[in-house]
A = this chain, B = another copy of it.
Amino acid sequence: MKEFFDCLKCKECGRTYPKEAFHVCEFDFGPLEATYNYHKIKKYISRHLIESGPHSMWRYEPFLPLEGSPTVGLHTGMTPLIHAQRLAKALGVKDLYLKNDTVNIPSLSFKDRVVSVALSRAKELDFHVVSCASTGNLANSLAAHAASSGLKSYVLIPADLELAKVIGSLVYNTKVIGIRGPYDKVNRLCSEIAGKYRWAFVNVNFRPYYAEGSKTMGFEILEQLGWKIPDHTVICMASGSLLTKIDKAYREAIICGLVEEKPYAIHGAQALGCNPITAAFKKGTDLIRPVAHPNTIAKSLAIGTPADGYYAIQTIRRTGGFSEDVDDHEIIEGIKILAETEGVFAETAGGVTVGCAKKLIEKGHIPSTSQVVLCITGNGLKTADVLKDHLQPIEVIDPTIQDFDKIIDFEN
């Protein structure tokens, strides 16, 4: 794939950089992004070629920033796109789909995509220690992928994360370091560490590689819809990166002739307790005001200073989308309605996406006649504790038919 992946390029000034472990422009501190030779890709690629590729995200390898073949996460991706007719009815929209990364491989979130790319690239650049700043899902994925690749790993997380996410990292024998303070402090510390040790921090010095992995969620949506861009796509936002990369996938697919160009709207979803991007969007400004003390059950989205927030807002505006937010109660309701109608158990971030989609439909930002895709990014077992007090209690009886009959009589 060497011939397709061009270089790294500053998103602000366009200066180019070699394909190393760089992530910010030395001149204006703009983020670097992977660029490709689309002319060559267009000549090479076709729907048929992709469809006959592996049943994983790697069928989109020409659009990913590697020089050789992938070596990490070969089973990742190609999660189901569910035609969610029962949820569509509940939300009052005609044609609804769920891109279901709750069953992504190996660690049950979309982070498996980005880590696969980052670690494959880290091995190409001969890094032996991998690391990340994480709100949980990324830590799980990094630890799992590193374990299966025999890479030494360290994950840095806010010290107060959900127990399931902590165990879901520790089990892979990664070194878990809890940082006192919110995610942004974890992230800042990681930047310092990356300056001092020769480690591949997937979301710091390897961010240009890492972030590209998210595009595969977008490409898969297009393919699974029968090579069409959905009218509306709703995406939850932490750093905002996923949203910008799904849009990038849509645009690359147009450029390379995989789908026809058409109007489409990208909508952002945040938790009210940490909504820096939505707040800025609603105010009509580009200026993102950091949230110093996130307070939401959607901990995986609790990034107060979103690295790609500015670009997320640009994307939402450019496509005619909207940015919404929901409170903790609405998040729980979102998780429940998704599970009850479609049998998909999402973590809190999924509740945010469903809750915001509901609002966007109610408010008319998503017309009831349109085709909508919701990106569900992580599995509910990771944040099951938040539901404890919000579900029907279980009924406990002795093992007799008489006791059982009483329950049924009561029900009917």
Using a CB–CB cutoff of 8 Å, the interface residues on chain A facing chain B are: 55, 75, 78, 80, 82, 86, 100, 102-108, 143-150, 159, 163-164, 166-168, 170-173, 175-181, 185-186, 188-189, 192-193, 196-197, 335-336, 339-345, 379-382, 384, 387-388, 391-392, 394-401, 404, 407-408, 411
- Write out the residue numbers on chain B whose beta carbons fall within 8 Å of the beta carbon of A75: 80, 82, 100
- Write out the residue numbers on chain B whose beta carbons fall within 8 Å of the beta carbon of A86: 148, 150
| A399-B344 contact in complex given A80-B75, A411-B175, C-beta closer than 8 Å | no
| A398-B179 contact in complex given A168-B380, A341-B147, C-beta closer than 8 Å | yes
In the assembly, what is the distance between CA of A401 and CA of B196, in Å?
9
- Write out the residue numbers on chain B whose beta carbons fall within 8 Å of the beta carbon of A108: 103, 108, 379, 381
| A106-B381 contact in complex given A86-B150, A178-B397, A408-B197, C-beta closer than 8 Å | no
In the assembly, what is the distance between CA of A185 and CA of B107, in Å?
35
Docked-complex contact B168 and A381, CB < 8 angstroms: yes
Out of B82, B168, B177, name the residue touching A407 (CB < 8 Å).
Answer: B177
- Write out the residue numbers on chain B whose beta carbons fall within 8 Å of the beta carbon of A107: 343, 345
Out of B55, B82, B380, name the residue touching A171 (CB < 8 Å).
Answer: B380
Out of B103, B105, B167, B395, name the residue touching A387 (CB < 8 Å).
Answer: B167
Of the A-B pairs whose beta carbons lie under 8 Å apart in the complex, a sample of 19, sorted by A's number, is A55-B55, A75-B80, A144-B344, A147-B339, A148-B342, A148-B343, A167-B391, A171-B339, A172-B345, A173-B340, A173-B392, A175-B395, A178-B396, A179-B396, A180-B397, A180-B398, A188-B399, A196-B401, A197-B408
Copies per complex? 2
Docked-complex contact B173 and A106, CB < 8 angstroms: no
- Write out the residue numbers on chain B whose beta carbons fall within 8 Å of the beta carbon of A341: 147-148
Q: Which interface residue of A55, A189, A339, A344 has the most chain B CB atoms within 10 A?
A: A339
| Extra A-B contacts (13), CB below 8 Å, given A171-B391, A177-B407 | A106-B343, A106-B345, A144-B343, A163-B388, A166-B394, A168-B380, A171-B335, A177-B394, A179-B396, A180-B398, A185-B399, A189-B400, A381-B382
In the assembly, what is the distance between CA of A335 and CA of B147, in Å?
13
- Write out the residue numbers on chain B whose beta carbons fall within 8 Å of the beta carbon of A396: 159, 177-180
In the assembly, what is the distance between CA of A145 and CA of B167, in Å?
28
In the assembly, what is the distance between CA of A335 and CA of B384, in Å?
21
Out of B193, B382, B401, name the residue touching A193 (CB < 8 Å).
Answer: B401
Docked-complex contact B394 and A144, CB < 8 angstroms: no
The residue of chain B having its C-beta at the shortest distance from the C-beta of A340 within the complex is: B173
Docked-complex contact B384 and A178, CB < 8 angstroms: no
In the assembly, what is the distance between CA of A356 and CA of B345, in Å?
32
Docked-complex contact A186 and B399, CB < 8 angstroms: yes
| A384-B167 contact in complex given A176-B394, A398-B179, A404-B193, C-beta closer than 8 Å | yes
Docked-complex contact A344 and B106, CB < 8 angstroms: yes
In the assembly, what is the distance between CA of A215 and CA of B4, in Å?
43
- Write out the residue numbers on chain B whose beta carbons fall within 8 Å of the beta carbon of A411: 175
Docked-complex contact B178 and A394, CB < 8 angstroms: yes
In the assembly, what is the distance between CA of A374 and CA of B100, in Å?
27
The residue of chain B having its C-beta at the shortest distance from the C-beta of A104 within the complex is: B103
The residue of chain B having its C-beta at the shortest distance from the C-beta of A386 within the complex is: B167
